[in-house]
Chains A and B, each alone.
Chain A
Amino acid sequence: SYELTQPPSVSVSPGQTARITCSGDALPKKHAYWYQQKSGQAPVVVIYEDNKRPSGIPERFSGSSSGTLATLTIGGAQVEDEADYYCYSTDSSGNHIWVFGTGTKVTVL
Chain B
Amino acid sequence: EMQLVQSGAEVKKPGESLKISCKGSGYSFSSYWIAWVRQMPGKGLEWMGIIYPVDSETRYSPSFQGQVTISVDKSINTAYLQWSSLKASDTAMYYCAREAHALDVWGQGTTVTVSS
- Identify the A interface with B (CB < 8 A): 1, 33, 35, 37, 42-45, 48-49, 52, 54, 84, 86, 88, 95-103
Contact = CB atoms under 8 A, between A and B. Distances in A.
B101 A48 contact: yes
Nearest to B47: A98
B101 A97 contact: no
A33 B35 CA distance: 15
Contacts of B61: 1, 97-99
Contacts of A86: 44-45
6 contacts: A33-B103, A42-B95, A43-B103, A88-B103, A96-B50, A98-B50
The range of chain B's interface size is: 20 to 34
B102 A99 contact: no
B62 interface: yes
B1 interface: no
Interface of A is mostly: strand
A1 B44 contact: no
B78 to A, nearest CB: 18
A102 B35 contact: no
Contacts of A54: 102, 104
Contact of A42 (B33, B50, B60, B106): B106
Given A1-B63, A97-B61, A99-B61, A45 B44 contact: no
A100 B95 contact: no
Given A33-B102, A42-B108, A96-B59, A102 B95 contact: no
A86 B102 CA distance: 13
Nearest to B58: A96
Contact of B95 (A43, A98, A101): A43
Contacts of B104: 45, 48, 54
B102 A100 contact: no
B102 to A, nearest CB: 4
B46 interface: yes
Contacts of A45: 102-104
Contact of A52 (B62, B95, B101, B106): B101
A13 B60 CA distance: 40
